[in-house]
Amino acid sequence: MKSSFWKGKRVLVTGGNGFLGSHLVEELKKRGAEKIITPRKKDHDLRNKDESIKLTKNTQIVIHLAGNVGGIGYNQANPYALFYDNLLMGLNVIDACRHNKVDKIVIIGTVCSYPKHTPVPFKESDLWNGYPEETNAPYGIAKKALLVQSLAYKAQFGLDVINLLPVNLYGPGDNFDPSSSHVIPSLIKKFHEAKIAGDSHVTVWGTGKASREFFYVEDAARAIADATEKCNQSEPINIGTGSEIKIKKLVEMIKKIVGYHGRIVWDKTKPDGQPRRMLDTSRARKLFGFQATTNLETGLRKTIEWYKSTFA
């Protein structure tokens, strides 16, 4: 549905060629945005302050999605890069928006910023009540620092900034590289390849006892667009489905949809990550009327079909 909000505005979407970014760009086009800038990493390094200033010049809206991200294994192997890259990119983009007097900035944070033992469902008020889960703490803390920066800039310079905290995303176009993928694309790839090869079993990390909330990427794109149009609140806002599933049940669901009939072997030497993860999404409903509409099974089927049509 088109909205007059986007008419005539130059919109910069950092990370606009990535997984979430590509879906967001399509959503913005549907709403009538015509001047959308999606810089590529190879051409514009946001860790360079001058590049950030150049990109945000004459821009009315900046949606900052760009990041160095990955699953548990990737976080364990690259803590320095996950902290340094994400912090520096965000620092530069937010400061460049101040420098160029950008009308509105939307910062996409992460559920990884929450403390390890946050009571479920996670409320935004819980954000500062402890240290994040160790395997993704560098990433989570870097993103949390950007929340502090954006609130400081709002207080001192009047910056109009929104801070959104999405939970784990999945969907068509996800990252299926086993060295850096998150749990759902990793499992889809494992089960599909095991089915094709006729393998007798598939090994899965952890115990299966942890729980997660999974947010379909098209719903996430809609949430970001809705918030940009309708919200002027700078305090953090959770976006997600407000429901969780045990990893063990998720694994069985993906196995069934893929059509794999072998055994599942749990590698309990590998970490489960945060014990539970589910957001309280009532603030998003209250402030801009957002509610997710894609249930997990439907989203998984769409994602698996996309994977098979792209890689199989």
Binding site, annotated residues for NADP(+): 15-21, 143, 166-169, 182
Single out the residue of 296, 266, 245, 292 nearest to residue 202, CA to CA: 266
Q: Which residues are annotated as a binding site for substrate?
A: 190, 205, 212, 272
Please, which residues bridge with residue 35 across strands? 10
| DSSP assigned state of 250 | H
Question: Which residue is catalytic, options 139, 170, 216, 260?
Answer: 139
Q: Is 131 a catalytic residue?
A: no
Most distant CA pair in the chain, distance: 61
The vertex-130 CA angle with 109 and 141, nearest 5°, equals 35
Separate counts of helices (H) and strands (E) for the chain: 10, 12
Q: Measured between alpha carbons, how far is 18 from 111 in angstroms, rounded to an integer? A: 19
CA distance 223 to 39: 22
Q: Are 83 and 195 in contact (CB under 8 A)?
A: no
Other C-beta atoms closer than 10 Å to the C-beta of 159 total 22
Structure token digits, residue 197: 């090869």
- Binding-site residues from annotation: 15-21, 143, 166-169, 182, 190, 205, 212, 272
Residues that are catalytic? 139
